[in-house]
Amino acid sequence: MSAALIDGEAIGQRIRDEVKAATARLEQTKGAAPELAVVLVGEDPASQIYVRAKVKNTQDAGMRSHAHRLPADATEEEVIALVARLSADPQIDGVLVQLPLPKHIDEARVLAALDPAKDVDGLTEASAGRLLLGKPGLRPCTPAGCVILARTVTRDLAGAHCVVIGRSILVGKPAALLFLEQNCTIAIAHSRTRDLPALCRSADILVAAVGRPEMIRGAWVKPGAIVIDVGINRVPAPELGPGKDGAPKSRIVGDVAFAEAREIAGAITPVPRGVGPMTRACLLRNTLLAACARRGWPVPPGFEG
Ligand code: GUN
């Protein structure tokens, strides 16, 4: 039997609608709406698409959006100065630095310039420390979205065996900690993991965040498992014929071989329309929470936990 599809687009839209309603209430009662600044350095095509979508979602939610685009040859000092200026700006509630940054810029130094109170991506040392310590705080958006998606299938994840493939700062490590917070038993797999297929087959919840197209095969999936595919990989698709420039068209695939895995899993996220929209929904949620904490506004109902 084919797995249930986890519709990240619809679930993300529901969260965005809730953020929009809460923002409208703040506008009425406090006379102000949260403001989010996004910093994009360089011309990475995928990052440009992500930032455009983030700006649009922010505006659609009734928040103010400020996009700062710097050229690929901007110096590290220029980027740090911009992040420091936005951190100090009392009008701005959230600051997001789109990653990856160009190679000559040290991401850690840039993130160190970010006020943790405005860290809506949950990537600063302070946010990561709070997550590790189990203290409330702004959580990284993509992993937070993964947990929300898994909980739409099974509300109580306690005791589930969760395997996260990938140990990045952006996804893998925080995802493991967030599933631990849900009382899952967690394992983080990486390039040195022995017998990855066997480890994957032990997972009630399998989170794939490796960035390698269709690496996770259907035979690696435990029957009935929840499969969350974080991968967004562009691959050539000659079967679609030539594009405008004569080169083969491309298509987006995840880290999981979807058609195979769908035959085995209990529930699975598609790519696209799975995890991606959840990242943006959680970003808006974090921006609302950051604004309330910073401005001393009460947390809107439904956003407490
Ligand atoms: N690049 C890819 N995903 C993300 C994300 O969630 N946040 C940031 N800042 N950069 C990204």
- pLDDT at position 113: 98
Asked if 237 and 155 sit in the same domain, the reply is: yes
191 is a domain residue: yes
- Same-domain check for residues 115 and 192: no
Whole-prediction pTM value? 0.97
Catalytic residue at 91?
A: no
Q: Considering the domain boundaries, does residue 69 fall inside one?
A: yes
**Does the Cβ of 141 fall within 6 Å of ligand 1?**
yes
The confidence score (pLDDT) of residue 242 equals 86
Segment 279-299, tens digit of pLDDT: 999 999 999 999 999 999 999
Number of domains within the chain: 2
Number of H helices, E strands in the chain: 10, 11
Is the CB of 99 within 6 Å of ligand 1? yes
Residues 186 and 68 placed together within one structural domain of the fold? no
Whether residue 38 is found in the same domain as residue 108: yes
Which range of residues forms the domain containing residue 226? 141-277
What is residue 25's predicted lDDT score, i.e. its pLDDT?
Answer: 97
* Residue 19 is assigned to a structural domain of this protein: no
- Give residue 208's Cα distance to chain centre: 13
CA dihedral over 260, 262, 265, 270, signed as positive or negative: positive
- Same domain flag for 155 and 87: no
> Which atom of ligand 1 lies at the shortest distance from residue 283's CA?
6
Residues 218 and 154 in one domain: yes
Is 60 within the bounds of a domain? yes
Residue 263, in any domain of the structure? yes
Residues of the chain with pLDDT under 50: none
- Are 145 and 276 in contact by the 8 Å Cβ rule? The answer is no
Concerning whether 20 is annotated as a catalytic residue, the answer is no
Q: Quick one: tokens of 118?
A: 């405005």
Segment (H or E) for 280: helix 275-295
The CATH number given to whatever domain includes residue 56 is: 3.40.50.10860
| pLDDT given at position 264 | 98
